[in-house]
Amino acid sequence: MNTLVIEHVAFDDLPEAWRAGMHVAANARVTVRIEEEQEQAPVTGGNGNPLFGMWRDRADMADVTRYAEQLRSARYGVDGWQSEK
């Protein structure tokens, strides 16, 4: 992996595009680190969204129906009507 580190750079000397996203005093000094990105493996399964299945290893969500019923039980009764608070 290739890495370039530039230390103690005056914030004003950075390109405008870099400064635009940073909230730093104009007279500050910063360290810039540029790394080569690793090639990412393609996302598989689901609909291609990397968030798909993010909770699949959670034991408390193994039975999805029961988990959803527990979440709703505080607000809704067994009959489906919203509980009075």
Span 14-73, pLDDT tens digits: 999 989 888 889 889 999 999 988 887 765 666 667 777 777 788 888 888 888 888 888
Q: Output the six-digit token pair for 16.
A: 């405008």
C-alpha–C-alpha distance, residues 65 and 52, integer Å: 18
| pLDDT over 90 at 9, yes or no | yes
C-alpha–C-alpha distance, residues 59 and 52, integer Å: 17
Q: Give the per-residue pLDDT at 7.
A: 94
Q: Give the per-residue pLDDT at 46.
A: 64
Q: Give the per-residue pLDDT at 85.
A: 57
- State the total domains in the chain: 1
The model scores a pTM over 0.85: no
Give the range of the structural domain holding residue 17, as residue numbers without chain letter. 3-35
